[in-house]
Protein backbone atom coordinates (compact mmCIF):
# COMPACT_ATOMS: atom_id res chain seq x y z
CA UNK A 1 0.00 0.00 0.00
CA UNK A 2 1.23 3.50 -0.85
CA UNK A 3 1.85 5.95 2.00
CA UNK A 4 0.09 9.18 1.00
CA UNK A 5 1.15 11.07 4.11
CA UNK A 6 4.22 12.28 2.22
CA UNK A 7 1.94 14.49 0.15
CA UNK A 8 0.38 16.24 3.14
CA UNK A 9 2.91 19.15 3.23
CA UNK A 10 2.35 19.73 -0.50
CA UNK A 11 -1.42 19.75 -0.05
CA UNK A 12 -1.13 22.13 2.91
CA UNK A 13 1.10 24.44 0.91
CA UNK A 14 -1.33 24.32 -2.02
CA UNK A 15 -4.28 25.05 0.28
CA UNK A 16 -2.52 28.04 1.87
CA UNK A 17 -1.53 29.37 -1.57
CA UNK A 18 -5.09 29.11 -2.88
CA UNK A 19 -6.51 30.72 0.27
CA UNK A 20 -4.03 33.62 0.17
CA UNK A 21 -4.40 34.26 -3.55
CA UNK A 22 -8.19 34.20 -3.22
CA UNK A 23 -8.00 36.61 -0.28
CA UNK A 24 -5.76 38.99 -2.24
CA UNK A 25 -8.21 38.96 -5.15
CA UNK A 26 -11.61 39.02 -3.45
CA UNK A 27 -10.98 40.82 -0.14
CA UNK A 28 -10.30 44.25 -1.74
CA UNK A 29 -13.51 43.92 -3.76
CA UNK A 30 -15.54 43.07 -0.66
CA UNK A 31 -13.98 45.90 1.36
CA UNK A 32 -14.70 48.39 -1.45
CA UNK A 33 -18.34 47.35 -1.56
CA UNK A 34 -18.66 47.38 2.24
CA UNK A 35 -17.11 50.85 2.66
CA UNK A 36 -19.00 52.43 -0.22
CA UNK A 37 -15.93 53.21 -2.37
CA UNK A 38 -17.19 50.96 -5.16
CA UNK A 39 -18.55 53.56 -7.59
CA UNK A 40 -18.07 52.37 -11.16
CA UNK A 41 -18.28 55.00 -13.87
CA UNK A 42 -18.05 54.65 -17.61
CA UNK A 43 -14.50 56.02 -17.57
CA UNK A 44 -13.41 53.47 -14.93
CA UNK A 45 -14.99 50.56 -16.78
CA UNK A 46 -13.63 51.45 -20.22
CA UNK A 47 -10.76 49.54 -21.79
CA UNK A 48 -7.46 51.36 -21.63
CA UNK A 49 -4.36 50.41 -23.51
CA UNK A 50 -1.43 52.49 -24.70
CA UNK A 51 -3.13 55.83 -24.11
CA UNK A 52 -5.75 55.67 -26.84
CA UNK A 53 -9.27 54.21 -27.12
CA UNK A 54 -9.26 50.49 -27.81
CA UNK A 55 -12.05 50.40 -30.37
CA UNK A 56 -11.72 52.87 -33.21
CA UNK A 57 -10.80 52.79 -36.89
CA UNK A 58 -8.00 50.22 -37.31
CA UNK A 59 -6.49 52.21 -40.20
CA UNK A 60 -5.87 55.31 -38.11
CA UNK A 61 -2.36 56.71 -37.70
CA UNK A 62 -0.50 55.35 -34.69
CA UNK A 63 2.28 57.29 -33.06
CA UNK A 64 5.57 55.45 -33.49
CA UNK A 65 6.94 56.84 -30.21
CA UNK A 66 5.06 54.14 -28.31
CA UNK A 67 7.16 51.56 -30.13
CA UNK A 68 10.39 53.52 -29.62
CA UNK A 69 9.82 53.73 -25.88
CA UNK A 70 9.02 50.01 -25.75
CA UNK A 71 12.18 49.12 -27.67
CA UNK A 72 14.31 51.34 -25.42
CA UNK A 73 12.74 49.73 -22.36
CA UNK A 74 13.56 46.25 -23.66
CA UNK A 75 17.15 47.24 -24.46
CA UNK A 76 17.83 48.63 -20.99
CA UNK A 77 15.93 45.80 -19.33
CA UNK A 78 18.21 43.35 -21.10
CA UNK A 79 21.19 45.38 -19.96
CA UNK A 80 20.09 44.93 -16.36
CA UNK A 81 19.55 41.21 -16.96
CA UNK A 82 23.12 40.84 -18.23
CA UNK A 83 24.60 43.14 -15.60
CA UNK A 84 23.57 41.16 -12.50
CA UNK A 85 25.21 37.80 -13.37
CA UNK A 86 28.31 39.65 -14.53
CA UNK A 87 28.52 41.60 -11.27
CA UNK A 88 28.34 38.40 -9.26
CA UNK A 89 31.15 36.69 -11.15
CA UNK A 90 33.38 39.57 -12.29
CA UNK A 91 36.07 39.01 -9.65
CA UNK A 92 36.54 35.39 -10.65
CA UNK A 93 36.52 36.14 -14.40
CA UNK A 94 39.26 38.76 -14.41
CA UNK A 95 40.01 41.91 -16.34
CA UNK A 96 38.84 40.55 -19.68
CA UNK A 97 35.27 40.23 -18.41
CA UNK A 98 35.44 43.71 -16.92
CA UNK A 99 36.66 45.20 -20.21
CA UNK A 100 34.00 43.33 -22.20
CA UNK A 101 31.24 44.66 -19.95
CA UNK A 102 32.60 48.21 -20.17
CA UNK A 103 32.44 47.95 -23.99
CA UNK A 104 28.87 46.64 -23.71
CA UNK A 105 27.83 49.48 -21.38
CA UNK A 106 29.54 52.04 -23.62
CA UNK A 107 27.59 50.75 -26.64
CA UNK A 108 24.34 51.04 -24.69
CA UNK A 109 25.27 54.53 -23.53
CA UNK A 110 25.93 55.55 -27.13
CA UNK A 111 22.53 54.14 -28.08
CA UNK A 112 20.89 56.14 -25.31
CA UNK A 113 22.67 59.35 -26.40
CA UNK A 114 21.60 58.70 -30.01
CA UNK A 115 17.95 58.14 -28.99
CA UNK A 116 18.06 61.25 -26.81
CA UNK A 117 19.48 63.40 -29.62
CA UNK A 118 16.91 62.07 -32.11
CA UNK A 119 14.11 63.01 -29.68
CA UNK A 120 12.86 59.47 -29.04
CA UNK A 121 12.59 60.25 -25.33
CA UNK A 122 10.69 63.54 -25.78
CA UNK A 123 7.00 63.26 -25.09
CA UNK A 124 4.45 65.86 -26.13
Q: Is residue 112 part of a domain?
A: yes
Structure pTM?
0.45
Summarize the confidence of residues 90-107 as an average pLDDT. Answer: 88
Share of the chain above pLDDT 70, in %: 86
Q: How far apart are the first and last CA of the chain?
A: 71
Q: What is the residue-averaged pLDDT of the chain?
A: 83
CATH number at residue 117: 1.20.58.1610
In order of 79, 93, 96, 106, 112, the CA distances from 89 in angstroms are 16, 6, 12, 20, 26
In a domain, 24, yes or no: no
**Is 80 exceeded by the pLDDT of residue 9?**
yes
Q: Is residue 40 domain-resident?
A: no
Q: What is the number of domains present in the chain?
A: 1
Report yes or no: 76 and 109 within 8 Å, Cβ to Cβ: no
Query: Domain of 124?
Result: 60-124
Q: Is residue 107 part of a domain?
A: yes
Q: Indicate whether 13 belongs to any domain.
A: no
> 100 vs 58, which has greater pLDDT?
100
Residue 55 is assigned to a structural domain of this protein:
no
* CA-wise closest residue to 62 among 72, 51, 46: 51
Is 90 part of any domain? yes
Residues 91-116: what's their mean pLDDT? Answer: 87
Amino acid sequence: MVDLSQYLPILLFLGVAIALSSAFVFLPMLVARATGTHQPTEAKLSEYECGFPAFEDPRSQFDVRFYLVAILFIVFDLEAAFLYPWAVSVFSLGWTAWAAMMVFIAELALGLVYAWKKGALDWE
